[in-house]
Amino acid sequence: MSKSIALVAVISAIAVLPAAARELKGESKDAWITGRIETIYQLNAHLNGFTIDTDVRNGSVHLTGKVGGPVDRELAGELARGVEGVVNVDNDLVVDAKAGRQAGDGEHSFFRWVDDVTTTAEVKSRLLQNSNTHGMRIDVDTHGDVVTLSGTVTSPEEKRLAEQLARNAGDVKDVHNKLVVRAE
């Protein structure tokens, strides 16, 4: 649920910004358009925004860099065309399979980062709230909805409980339980 709230907040902020853009002119408007396009690329699950360069002059967008395939190239161009204030788009993106997202590789995605941070916070909260786990001794790390638990616990039962609490959180696909049992 907290992932949905974070996503709604980001989308809401982006949705109300076009009204502010109508008041901008010249370089300020170009900077706004650039920021808007780059934000859209970062939030898009199919594009790697870090491999796409956006240059805007007087509302004309020039895209350079690399994308993972021809569909991604077209998608990037269409997304840019959809931004208010864009006059035209010169799409000079080069197709390079290495530039595209790979399944499970969200390293460059702002959305993936938000998703992983939210999952980490949810798991950590569950561990801290449960009276049968020592949440302060358990480190939680999330990458691509795979949670890794590390640190120390006092019993095999606590280790299993911590893993189950993590598995029950949000979008968790898997849990790597590296907790070490050390009696107090």
Residues in contact with 33: Cβ distance below 8 Å, sequence separation at least 6, in sequence order? 21, 56, 59, 61, 83, 85, 86
Q: Report the pLDDT value the prediction gives residue 32, as an integer from 0 to 100.
A: 85
Averaged pLDDT for residues 103-114: 58
Higher-confidence residue: 98 or 80? 80
23 sits in which H/E element: none
Do residues 77 and 89 lie in contact, with contact meaning Cβ atoms separated by under 8 Å?
A: yes
Per-residue tokens: 176: 């790597």
Q: With a cut of 90, say whether residue 26 has pLDDT above it.
A: no
Mean pLDDT of the chain: 83
Confidence of residue 11 (pLDDT cuts 50, 70, 90): low
**Nearest-angstrom CA–CA distance, 58 and 178:** 54
As a CATH number, domain 110-181 is 3.30.1340
pLDDT tens-place string over residues 156-171? 999 999 999 999 988 8
Q: With a cut of 70, say whether residue 8 has pLDDT above it.
A: no
Confidence of residue 183 (pLDDT cuts 50, 70, 90): confident
Residues in contact with 74: Cβ distance below 8 Å, sequence separation at least 6, in sequence order? none
Long-range CB contacts (< 8 A, 24+ apart) of 165-171?
165/123, 165/126, 165/127, 165/130, 165/133, 166/123, 166/126, 166/127, 166/140, 168/126, 169/119, 169/122, 169/123, 169/126, 170/2, 170/3, 170/118, 170/119, 170/122, 171/3, 171/115, 171/119, 171/145
Alpha helices in 24-155, H assignment, sequence order: 26-43, 70-81, 110-129
CB hemisphere CA count around 151 (13 angstroms): 19
pLDDT tens-place string over residues 46-96? 888 888 999 999 999 999 999 988 999 999 999 999 998 999 999 999 998
Q: Are strands 138-143 and 146-153 parallel, antiparallel or unpaired?
A: antiparallel
Domain residue spans of the chain: 2-99, 110-181
Q: Report the pLDDT value the prediction gives residue 14, as an integer from 0 to 100.
A: 53
Residues in contact with 40: Cβ distance below 8 Å, sequence separation at least 6, in sequence order? 14, 79, 83
